[in-house]
Amino acid sequence: MPNIITRRQFVATVATGAVLATGKTARAQSGFLGWMGRWNERVDRALFGSDRLAAELPPAEATPANAFPSYFISEDMPVAPAGWVLKVGGLVARPTTFSLEQLQHLTRTEFGGI
């Protein structure tokens, strides 16, 4: 029964994993989480199916352009909390942080809406 062996390994991994996961789960590329992450990537690929096209709807069933996506006027406006920063870290060449002001001064690209 391969299921049982997999789950025994899994229980052992979870036991050690639970102990190790006291801080941030930074090393998600290796070990149990890495293995499961690659499994999930395979599931993603199966769901996407790179060699088949998405189903084409007859024009009558297509969502009218003005009905999608559904925009609405929000009752509250999101405001960045005091001291908010965007932290760029992990597998990047230059880990850094951006304040909201710095972000707003970066080069902008405007996209036209519908």
Partner 1 sequence: MEATDWQERWQGRRAQPWLIRLTHWLNVPLLLLMAGSGLQIFAAYPALGPRGARYGWYPWDGVLPPTWAQFGGWLAGGRHWHFALGWFLVLNGIVYLSYMAARGEWRRRSFRPHRDARNAVLMLLYYLRLRRAAPPIDFYNGLQRLAYSAIMVIALAEVLSGLAIYKPVQLWWLGSLFGGYDGARAVHLIGLGLLALFTAMHLVMVTLHPRAILTMLTGGKRA
Q: Where does this chain bind partner 1 (CB under 8 A)?
A: 3-4, 7, 10-11, 14, 18, 21-25, 28, 32-33, 36-37, 39-40, 44, 47-48, 72-76, 78
Nearest approach, Cβ of 38 to partner 1 (angstroms)? 10
Q: Report the residue number, 49 or 58, with the smaller CB distance to partner 1.
A: 49
Nearest approach, Cβ of 74 to partner 1 (angstroms)? 3
Nearest approach, Cβ of 107 to partner 1 (angstroms)? 27
d(CA 65, CA 62): 9
- Characterise 63 by phi-psi region: left (phi > 0), alpha (psi -120 to 50), beta (else): beta
Half-sphere exposure of 9 (CA within 13 A, CB side): 9
> Please, are residues 96 and 88 in contact by the beta-carbon 8 Å criterion?
yes
